[in-house]
Structure 1
């Protein structure tokens, strides 16, 4: 267990707890992974110019995150990472850029919160994109039992009644309850008349007042699943989904 893995594990545990309590994660968490990462990388990569440029890149990114008036410095930091990849073939710079793009896609698709995306960005620079993809893919698998539990609760409460066929996916991702009972961190997806199958977790729209029964998603922080995946990596450092596919293929051929 190397230092970068250990620090990432600590961050994942702290981030999961913080996200569970507040549904938000301090930017310090993912920014710290960049700083710890560049220090640890310098111990193995003896290139002072590469080290200097990536230090400056991280400094610009830190300033952009901490001070809103310097937000455009983020792009300069990103450009410097691109430069170190092109000139020095920096694997960790490439990893950061890849997960920056992945994060943008997931965030603006309302598939993942900003804190989760930033954590993956920080982790990708700390440990590399292969490691981060393994953590990400295994974290998705941990969502499956959660969806099954949601489904069983809906079956028990017979929430499938009156639900249109095209909206059956709701049985796996949302619960039905009285509008007055919706909790702080739950996201209303609509009622039986008007439903959005993708919860708008990253949009601050004007709240619609519902009456009666509504579908809500508990919006469990994805960082919790990332933390589980991180622990799993200690015992099985491979994408579990690939192993499942392999077993399925072998059982049929």
Structure 2
């Protein structure tokens, strides 16, 4: 009924109960942030101070918005609460923008410093280890359920903030060639390859699972061994489908974009 919202990338601005292909809410967020970032980049070229102020306002605004919505909805760290506040918190671009703001600020900082970070090797190792500790702490900090609404929404916001900062450091550290032994594992070619098809995997896996179960009326027993076999099969099928999807859609667009940028650079030189 509301498929047209997906075409306009605005499905996350409406109730999640009415969403067509409800897992595509993140695609809408990505497109909205991309459009906003493009506008800000052009504006930054003429008025850097205005863009910096606007970005800071977004940062403060998303935190205040998250607190107001969370307190009003009596948010708790549970699946039921997350589903009940799906429209206001989980898929809301006003709440989800926090990691993107931090990522953009990190990218700006590293470019301003010409991909250089002037810290000692000891501090660098400490930051790397702190980043991975914060990363996993944020993931598992939501295990605790019985807490006040203020504590729950604070943990939600602060956890997302710290989680984003830890990821930002991992990206910056890898981009500047500064890392530790476990960070080099993340830079392995196999992970680089998976990264290229990760979004396609995210988009396609519900289709594959739904299609498989639509072919049979038989129930699936919750046997650990059987579920492992079933999951392994889904992993292989989804991976192959994502590779085809990437080659058919993402790669041509990326190549076309690169050619357009190179063409624009040559025209400027002439």
Tell me the TM-score range normalised by the shorter chain. under 0.3
Normalized per residue, the structure richer in helix is: 2
Normalized per residue, the structure richer in strand is: 1
**Higher normalized contact order (CA 8 Å, seq sep 6+, divided by chain length):** 1
User: What TM-score results when the alignment is normalised by the length of structure 1?
Assistant: 0.28
User: What TM-score results when the alignment is normalised by the length of structure 2?
Assistant: 0.26
